Structure 1
Amino acid sequence: MSRHSGSSRHRSHQPRSSESNSEDTIEQAKAVVNQLNTVIASAPHQWETYLPSARSAMSALDHVRFFRSTQRYDEQVWILHGLQDFAFHDPDGGAIRDVAEWCQTAWLRILRNYPEDVETLTGLGHNWLQRAQATLARIQREEGTDSSSSGSGQAGNMIYDNELLTNGLDTDENSAAPPTDPRRQGPLYVEARGYLQPAVDFYTRAVTSAASLGDTPGDLLASAAESHMSLGNVTATPGDERLFAQAIRYLRQAEQTPGYSLSIYLQQYLNEYGRYVS
């Protein structure tokens, strides 16, 4: 047999072998994600032990171009949720930055194939909102805000600026806006807005897409409200007023969603401040 024919035979078998190796790689990565899910649920303090495995899985998935496929959407979303939950297991303390950024890039790759996909837009909104939490927590610590800290939902460090809400919204009862808070021009506020504006944008797109399908989940509406409230708290007047008002509208809609209940914090917020928004 000639060398040429031997090479041909080798090449003819290579695609099948390569496909098999890719499948093995994907299954191994899924096993790692299962492991991460267990760790986050039962022993989150041990996260650092599993970080090398997470990074290995990410690198392997990149190698086989897993997120470029249009045939594995369900697996892609499941893997991203697992890795993203791992990245943000302690948002107050800061995300695992490289894992969070990798997840964001992977979501964007899926978005290219499914530009109006609700799950993908929600995943991106969640990514940006969670990345903001450490900065919001730092604002609270450094400035000793008197505003209440919510432990609700996905955004555990939202600063609910109650005074701005009750005095700043453009309503018949309260037409005078408060003076601009100079702190909102500080570097921490700029950093927070840099995270939260994309969160608001992606959640807004997700709500719009879900509404076009006739099914807007309550948890999506609540998360969209949280992103608006968080951005409102680091935005100067009058931009904050519009954000707070939209948050209230989302909360009203979520409250009316069959089978869904707002968290106690968001429900209290809606009950107390909903009357200021028409």
Structure 2
Amino acid sequence: MSRHSGSSRHRSHQPRSSESNSEDTIEQVKAVVDQLNGVMVSAPHEWEAYLPSARSAMLALDRVRFFRDSQRYTEQVWILHGLQDFAFHDPDAGSIRDVAEWCQAAWLRILRNYPDDVETLTGLGHNWLQRSQATLARIQREEGTDSSSSGSGLTGNSIDSDEILTNGLETNGFSAAPPADPRRQGPLYVEARGYLQPAVDFFTRAVASADALGDLPGDLLASAAESHMSLGNVTATPSDERLFAQAIRYLRRAEETPGYSLSIYLQQYLNEYGRYVS
């Protein structure tokens, strides 16, 4: 009898207790993300020691169905940025796959509630773009000198490497493109395109949404350009030419954005090839 009444009391208070526990869980996760942010700044080489905490945080958020709550958008985005930065702490070496895929799924849940949200579309674009980097770096390592001499240079970290894209561009006055490269049908190229096409799609949607709002930041335009340039590097002619031309258009707009400066590599690319795109 006593046991039964105790159980009844527990059930009657369970919703309130459950809500309190969920809030505690979310606060604990925020503390973990704060810690991860600090590690990425001060000691990224120690990332492996913090992986169990990151995975525990992900499981905890799934347990309380955190990303189903459309009222917590700001917290959701902040947490996802922290976990995604952790997942791609060294993208050329490869991501922490389960964390990267979990972030992608979480972004998609937010997108269901906010289908035109610039931040969410950008987050998904970066997720796919960064997932491609290990494959691009592998192509660069395996083909190295050959790919450079054939004029189909690839960047290991999109445009953040020392190698400027030197692919020939035809049409609209572009210089002659190199002959079709059969390696672009190889498995690594196919894999790279599988990552980069969604990156291009999400960044394109993000740019359109931001443009419609009249608030299009330079860094979004630069990222959209990087995704197009990277996909162009693993795509056969003539599709690659269209991608490179669109990248130039994005870079022009980024260059014109008040308060924003292109990286030296993007600026060099724009200076070299911009004159060919009307």
Bin for the TM-score computed over the shorter chain: over 0.9
Match for residue 10 of structure 2? 10
Match for residue 172 of structure 2? 171
Deviations 1:190-247 (A, max 9, x none): 0000000000000000000000101100000000000000000000000000000000
Q: What is the deviation of 1:180?
A: 1.3
Q: Is the CA contact 1:129–1:155 (under 8 Å) kept in the aligned structure 2? A: no
With over 3 angstroms needed to count, the CA separation of the structure-2 counterparts of 1:192 and 1:230, relative to structure 1, is same
User: Would you say 1:156 and 2:160 are equivalent positions?
Assistant: yes
Consecutive unaligned residues in structure 1, runs of 5 or more: none
Match for residue 228 of structure 1? 228
CA RMSD of aligned residues (A): 2.0
Give the Cα–Cα distance (whole angstroms) in 1 for the partners of residues 3 and 51 of structure 2.
46
What does 1:105-120 align with in structure 2 at a 5 Å threshold?
A: 105-120=105-120
Q: Is the CA contact 2:153–2:233 (under 8 Å) kept in the aligned structure 1? A: no
What does 1:16-27 align with in structure 2 at a 5 Å threshold?
A: 16-27=16-27
Give the Cα–Cα distance (whole angstroms) in 2 for the partners of residues 228 and 42 of structure 1.
32
Q: What is the deviation of 1:162?
A: 1.4
With over 3 angstroms needed to count, the CA separation of the structure-2 counterparts of 1:192 and 1:252, relative to structure 1, is same
User: Would you say 1:245 and 2:249 are equivalent positions?
Assistant: no
What does 1:119-130 align with in structure 2 at a 5 Å threshold?
A: 119-130=119-130
TM-score between both structures, scaled by the size of structure 2: 0.93
Q: Is the CA contact 1:22–1:64 (under 8 Å) kept in the aligned structure 2? A: yes
Q: What is the deviation of 1:161?
A: 4.0
Match for residue 277 of structure 2? 277
**Identity %, equivalent residues:** 82
3-state SS of paired residue (1:231) = helix
Match for residue 70 of structure 1? 70
Match for residue 181 of structure 2? 181
With over 3 angstroms needed to count, the CA separation of the structure-2 counterparts of 1:177 and 1:266, relative to structure 1, is closer
Q: What is the deviation of 1:34?
A: 0.4
Runs (4+) off by over 3 Å: 1-9, 147-152, 154-161
Q: Is the CA contact 2:154–2:165 (under 8 Å) kept in the aligned structure 1? A: no
User: Would you say 1:140 and 2:140 are equivalent positions?
Assistant: yes
Give the Cα–Cα distance (whole angstroms) in 1 for the partners of residues 15 and 69 of structure 2.
17
Consecutive unaligned residues in structure 2, runs of 5 or more: none
TM-score between both structures, scaled by the size of structure 1: 0.93
3-state SS of paired residue (1:265) = helix
Q: Is the CA contact 2:67–2:110 (under 8 Å) kept in the aligned structure 1? A: yes
Query: What amino acid is the match of 1:135?
Result: T
Equivalent residues, number: 273
Q: Is the CA contact 2:204–2:224 (under 8 Å) kept in the aligned structure 1? A: yes
